[in-house]
Amino acid sequence: MSKTDTPRIGDDPVNHPGHYTFGKYEVIDVLEDWFPADPLLWQVGKYIARAGHKGTLLEDLKKAAWYLRRRIEKEDKHGKNRQ
């Protein structure tokens, strides 16, 4: 297989979609490292990371804000004594 026949990592829409592989690090690797046990913050990070790369910038920012508000509400309700 020649170099031109090798698919780029961002060309795989299932395993490595371009809207998550556009930068130096693949988004899933960062999310797994930063938020291994927090699915709401995972979603915030995901939508911020892909903002402007899939769909509209504003839509992704609104989605990130939705998940962030939900995480803040959860923290207000259950996490007052956590640091």
Query: pTM score, two decimals?
Result: 0.72
In b/e form, how buried is each residue of 52-82, taking b as 16+ CB within 10 angstroms? ebeeeeeebeebbeebbeebeeeeeeeeeee
Segment 55-70 mean pLDDT: 96
Domain range annotation of the chain? 18-76
Task: Please report the pLDDT score of residue 26 as a whole number.
Answer: 85
Q: What is the C-alpha separation between 72 and 78, in angstroms, rounded?
A: 10
17-40: per-residue pLDDT in tens? Answer: 778 777 788 888 889 999 999 999
